Chain A
């Protein structure tokens, strides 16, 4: 079956580093995406991994291990505006469908 697991909620302090984990079991794999979604708004793209390793983009980094079915999103120098839900999504090989996890709600406190 298709399954993506992420923690439901996390809390971190402004200026700190937080790691949001994602594990997946899908019938095929053609890339993993991370999206950010502020409350009441649409998701926006953060990162894409298709090969194993770390992709860095400013304060955000994303890691992928295909053999372990595992990814994480690393957010550095947290800001209050980073309070949002973070969605892990896996692109399936068949039918070009993207499966989304339920998302992790991150609360950044002062």
Chain B
């Protein structure tokens, strides 16, 4: 298993540009998440999904959009990039069902700089 994969690893955007961060998992996990991590800070949840076709906002969703058309893929879209979106973005997945929780598996991250 490849686990959770993310592309690209690095990206520099100009203010106002748009891009999509890709995330794929091959563990058949139902839950998927997008986090951002600013230097010296913890992870902030942007969006999450409990299954294909179902997404919901996390703590910091403004400026981002997601979709989940398949179990495997959970892309994150940045529209009109701003310097405040400079961060490291982590995608994660977990197998979760009512009353039972499991750890999250994280992808390697995408380092995004907006200039």
Binding site for B on A (CB under 8 A): 4, 30-31, 33, 41-45, 48, 50, 87, 89, 91, 95-103
Contact = CB atoms under 8 A, between A and B. Distances in A.
Contacts of B31: 96
A42 B48 contact: no
A42 B108 contact: yes
B103 A42 contact: no
Contacts of A33: 103-104
B48 A96 contact: yes
B40 A43 contact: no
Interface of B: 31, 33, 35, 40-45, 48, 50, 56, 58-59, 90, 96, 101, 103-109
Nearest to A42: B106
A103 B35 CA distance: 15
Given A33-B103, A91-B101, A41 B56 contact: no
A8 to B, nearest CB: 8
B45 A98 contact: yes
B43 A45 contact: no
B90 A43 contact: yes
B48 A50 contact: no
B106 A43 contact: yes
Nearest to B45: A97
A43 B101 CA distance: 17
A41 B90 CA distance: 10
A105 to B, nearest CB: 8
B108 A45 contact: no
Given A48-B103, A91-B101, A97-B58, A42 B43 contact: no
B96 A96 contact: yes
